[in-house]
Structure 1
Amino acid sequence: MQITIEIPRQLPDIMHCSPGDFEKQAKMAMVAKLYEMGKVSSGMAAQMVGLERVEFLLQLGQYGVAMIDLDKEELHVDLENA
């Protein structure tokens, strides 16, 4: 499936990147948000942007998304089970 989004022609120039780089950044931003919302797994998200899972997780910080988003109780249970 493919999604087409209309953007101002000058947007990549404003962002100081090529149209190809802009496309990659926009795709990563969308997939990072889907991951953050719990709509896709890290493995699925990585596949969607053509990265290995670990590489995807390491890039999340650039998009303001936490690699692991556990509340105190979930973290405590994880530590008990480690």
Structure 2
Amino acid sequence: MKTIILNVPDSFGLDEKEIKMLIAAKLYEEGKLSLGEAAQLAEVSKRAFIELLGQFNVSLFNYTPDELVDDINNA
């Protein structure tokens, strides 16, 4: 595991938990982390991570429109 030291100005008004969630949500949104990996990075349960995604404007479903059409056609 890598350790990163990040200096965030106090004026941003973010605590460590929020920063971890922001990073985890972005990496999940980009498909770089699975739901479980992102929840682990944010140090919350999968259920809590799912609930928090909405607060960060990240969809739980990372499908492109073409993938959705394919899924509908395969159903």
Structure-2-length-normalised TM-score: 0.78
Equivalence for 1:5? 6
Number of residue-to-residue matches in the alignment:
74
Q: Percent identity?
A: 38
Report how far residue 64 of structure 1 moved: 1.6
Equivalent position of 2:15 in the other structure? 22
Unaligned runs of 5+ in 1: 16-20
Counterpart residue number, 1:56:
49
Q: 1:72 to 1:60 in 2, by over 3 A?
A: same
Q: 1:22 to 1:45 in 2, by over 3 A?
A: same
Q: Work out which structure has the larger RCO, using CA pairs closer than 8 Å and 6 or more positions apart in sequence.
A: 2
Q: Does 1:42 align with 2:35?
A: yes
The two structures have a TM-score, normalised by structure 1, of 0.72
Q: Distance in 2 between matches of 1:63 and 1:72?
A: 21
Q: Which consecutive residues of structure 2, in runs of 5 or more, have no partner in the other structure?
A: none
